[in-house]
Structure 1
Amino acid sequence: MNLSSLLLTITAAGLAAAVFAPATQAATAPELLSGYTAQAGSPAVSARGQQFFTARHGREWSCASCHGAVPTKPGKHASTGKTIGALAPAFNPERFTDAAKAEKWFHRNCNDVVGRACTAAEKADVLSWLLTLKP
């Protein structure tokens, strides 16, 4: 294989990866829950998720500070006042459909609420509770 063939092959592979990468991030809330549960090595407990969501963890805010105690309606960011769409997937079908986006927001919000990254078990518990919320 000459250099130009090799470069063409690498370029084609890179383009294919770029085209298909967004599809690999697609998910459903139950799929994400399954992944977090597997990482945690134990079943999710929705009651524990609700408690985690509404409690303060030594910081100024809880999850509920912005998302509401029952996150089935739009919330409002406690600091900026920016509207936040409903968090529960049954009330906002866009929630938890992108694994990278879910991880990004868990990372940011857990840092604000808990002062650290949330564990897989904490994510599983919260997501399992959110999945129990139905119209």
Structure 2
Amino acid sequence: MRSHSLQTLLAAVALIASGFASAEAPADFLARYEAEARQSTPGFSASAERGEKFFTSTHGGEWSCSTCHTKNPAARGKHANTGKAIEPMAPGANPERLASTRSVEKWFGRNCKDVLGRACTPGEKADVVAWLMTSPR
């Protein structure tokens, strides 16, 4: 009997874990980053307006996010140094965007350091995600 219960428990854990490996939705990232931002800023709520301003501003450096990704996140961009094509950032135009924790964290990690010289805060991430979610196709 115990063996059967253990097998059932292990099967349930595997089923739950498989859900975490599946694709996520943009709203999942927005909720996660808003919750993280509220830990240091109670009452924080993401703003698409702030996200657009953040995305298109240079933050004291030469580059903004829009330098490579364009000011229209539904359009294809091009890397400023390599010339490599970049698919649209808006999930409405590119369903592969904001679909996995691994790619989203890699994207924010690399690009925030390029544009800001530091990691983005959870609030900045929430604002950018909110803006990308409102962008037309």
Find 1:128's aligned residue among 107, 127, 130: 130
Structure 2 residue aligned with 1:24: 20
Alignment of 1:66-81 (within 5 A): 66-81=68-83
- Secondary structure of the structure 1 residue equivalent to 2:68: helix
Deviation, structure 1 residue 58: 1.5
- Matched to 1:39, the amino acid is E
Assess, with a 3 A threshold, how the Cα gap between structure 1 residues 58 and 91 changes in structure 2: closer, same or farther.
same
Assess, with a 3 A threshold, how the Cα gap between structure 1 residues 66 and 21 changes in structure 2: closer, same or farther.
farther
Normalised by the length of structure 2, the TM-score is: 0.81
The count of aligned residue pairs is 120
Structure 1: tracts of 5 or more residues without a match:
1-12
Moved over 4 A (4+): 20-23
- What is the alpha-carbon root mean square deviation over aligned residues? 1.9
Alignment of 1:41-120 (within 5 A): 41=38, 42-120=44-122
Q: Note the alpha carbon deviations across 1:55-100, whole angstroms, 9 max, x for none.
A: 0012221000000011111100001000000000000000010011
- Matched to 1:24, the amino acid is F
Structure 2: tracts of 5 or more residues without a match:
1-9, 39-43
Tell me the percent identity: 49
